[in-house]
Amino acid sequence: MKTLVANFSKQLTEAIAIGSNAKLTPSASPISNVLICGLGGSGIGGSIVSELVAGNANVPINITKGYFIPAYVNENTLVIISSYSGNTEETLNCMELAIAKKAKIVSITSGGKVAEISKQNNLDVIIVPGGMPPRSCLGFSLTQLFFILGFNKIITTNYKAELQAAVKLIDDEEQNIIAEATSIANKLIDKTPVIYATTNNEGIAIRFRQQLNENAKILCWHHIIPEMNHNELVGWTEKNDNLSVILFHDREEYSRNVTRIEINKEIIKKYTSHITEIYSKGKSNIEKAIYFIHLGDWVSVILGELRGVDLMEVNVINHLKSKLSEI
């Protein structure tokens, strides 16, 4: 896993090449909305990208992380199926439902049943390299989403150049990223992380939470600002130095959210002395997101090493899938 994290920029470079050469076909009907279907490491790219393009996308983009699709899906819907293995049962069910609704379907997968169904139904599919844990392949799925949205004229930003700039950024910053990640990981030993970010970075917070779950084998939670100011903030009422707050900051954050963060810190400091602030680097939102993702991934593997756990092991997930297959 450590090697896979270290090779993230190489994965992104390969993913850009794959997206640039993808054989996609135009939709027969005008696209009025987009639905991205996927779970876990295959699905988090949809959460992140939908936030990154919210200010540019010309139609609504929604995410589903379950077995079913919304009633509005029809021939005017672009449905993106993201399943790294190609065998995620929830996503396969969504795919079958989308086919029945005659939606425009594009899949991102390394093979499996998704690739088979795509071939049988003459559907667009982008094949990415297989054989790795899905959580280590976010670069592949996230990048293809930009190319699919761009091809279908849902977004008009120069996403390819921004992705390339993000590759250069994390390459240039790699040693600084590892040093910062090491410092953060050491602060999280024997602590329960509480992850906060503002609304436009919720996908980043979720990604970090998921990586801490799977790589470091710990529980944690996340919430977003300003929503948590209307509920969770009230829960900070007891001293608990076992909680360690991680705050993701965008250096171009909306001024009212900056004020909220400062007030939140004043309140939270009364109940835990452990608050770590992480600041974005990069010019575009894509660069900032890639930087945050890479830093968070490094924190998760370094913390896992400090805890002495097997970074790759996900036996409980395999057990769940095995039990479900028996039914």
116 with 7, same domain? yes
Do 145 and 50 belong to one domain? yes
**Considering the domain boundaries, does residue 64 fall inside one?**
yes
pLDDT value of position 325: 82
Residue 319 confidence (pLDDT) above 90: no
pLDDT at 286 over 90: yes
- One-letter amino acid of 307: R
- pLDDT category at 326 given cuts 50, 70, 90 is confident
Query: Phi-psi bin for 190: left (phi > 0), alpha (psi -120 to 50), beta?
Result: left
**200-247: pLDDT as tens digits:** 999 999 999 999 999 999 999 999 999 999 999 999 999 999 999 999
What pLDDT shows up at residue 318?
Answer: 86
What DSSP assignment string belongs to 29-77? S---EEEEE--HHHHHHHHHHHHHTTTT-SS-EEEE-SS---TT-STTE
Question: Which H helix or E strand runs over 268?
Answer: helix 255-268
In a domain, 321, yes or no: no
| pLDDT at residue 140, rounded to an integer | 97
Give catalytic status of residue 230 as yes or no: yes
Question: What pTM, to 2 d.p., does this model score?
Answer: 0.96
Q: Do 24 and 79 belong together in one domain?
A: yes
Q: Is residue 327 part of a domain?
A: no
Cβ–Cβ under 8 Å, residues 203 and 44: yes
Q: pLDDT value at position 109?
A: 98
What is the pLDDT of the chain when averaged over all its residues? Answer: 96
Considering the domain architecture, whether residues 8 and 143 belong to the same structural domain is answered as: yes
- The 10s digit of each residue's pLDDT in 165-196 is 999 999 999 999 999 999 999 999 999 999 99
Domain CATH for 294: 3.40.50.10490
Do 145 and 231 reside in the same domain of the chain?
Answer: no
134 and 256 in a single domain? The answer is no
In a domain? residue 37: yes
**Tokens 């890639």 sit at which residue?**
290
Of 324 and 161, the structure prediction assigns the larger pLDDT to 161
Question: Does a structural domain hold residue 324?
Answer: no
Tell me, yes or no, whether 186 and 150 share the same domain: no
Band of residue 298 on the pLDDT scale cut at 50, 70, 90: very high
**The two three-digit tokens of residue 240, written as one number:** 């608990």
**pLDDT over 70 for what percent of the chain?**
100
Instruction: Identify each DSSP E strand in the chain by its residue range.
Output: 33-37, 61-64, 77-82, 104-109, 124-127, 192-198, 221-225, 243-249, 275-279
Contacts of 218 (CB under 8 A, 6+ apart): 188, 192, 193, 212, 303, 307
Same domain flag for 172 and 145:
no
Residue 95, pLDDT score: 98
- Rounded to 5°, the CA angle 224-228-301 comes to 40
Q: Residue 320: its pLDDT value, please?
A: 85
Our answer to whether residue 222 is catalytic in this structure is: no
Answer whether residue 302 shows pLDDT above 90: yes
pLDDT above 90 for 322: no
Is position 78 within any domain?
Answer: yes
Confidence of residue 197 (pLDDT cuts 50, 70, 90): very high
Question: Is the separation of the CB atoms in 71 and 97 below 8 Å?
Answer: no
Percent of the chain past pLDDT 90, that is, above it, reads 94
98 and 49 inside one domain: yes
Quick one: average pLDDT of 84-110?
97
Q: In the predicted model, is pLDDT for residue 271 greater than 90?
A: yes
Active-site residue (options: 51, 162, 214, 287): 214
What's the rounded mean pLDDT across residues 35-57?
96
Which position has the higher pLDDT, 252 or 34? 34
**Residue 265: its pLDDT value, please?**
97
Label residues 167-195 b or e (16+ Cβ within 10 Å = b): bebbeebeeebbebbbebbebbeebbbbb
Which is catalytic among the residues 23, 230, 262, 323?
Answer: 230
180 contacts 231 by C-beta, under 8 angstroms: no
Domain membership flag for residue 170: yes
Q: pLDDT-derived band of residue 303, with 50, 70 and 90 as boundaries?
A: very high
pLDDT of the residue at 5: 97
Rounded to a whole number, what is the distance in angstroms from the first to the last CA of the chain?
Answer: 32
CA–CA separation, 238 vs 308, rounded Å? Answer: 31
Domain count across the chain:
2
State the residue range of the domain holding 122: 2-157
**Last-in-domain residue among 157, 176, 196:** 157
Token digits of residue 104 = 């425009």
Residue 314 within a domain: no
- Residue range 243-257: mean pLDDT, rounded: 95
305 pLDDT exceeds 90?
A: yes
Residue type at position 241:
D
Query: CA 45, CA 39: separation in Å to the nearest integer?
Result: 9
The residue among 136, 157, 178 that closes a domain is 157
The residue from 119, 168, 239, 321 that is catalytic is 321
- 189 and 77 in a single domain? The answer is no
Residue 327 has pLDDT above 90, yes or no: no
Same-domain status, 188 and 127 = no
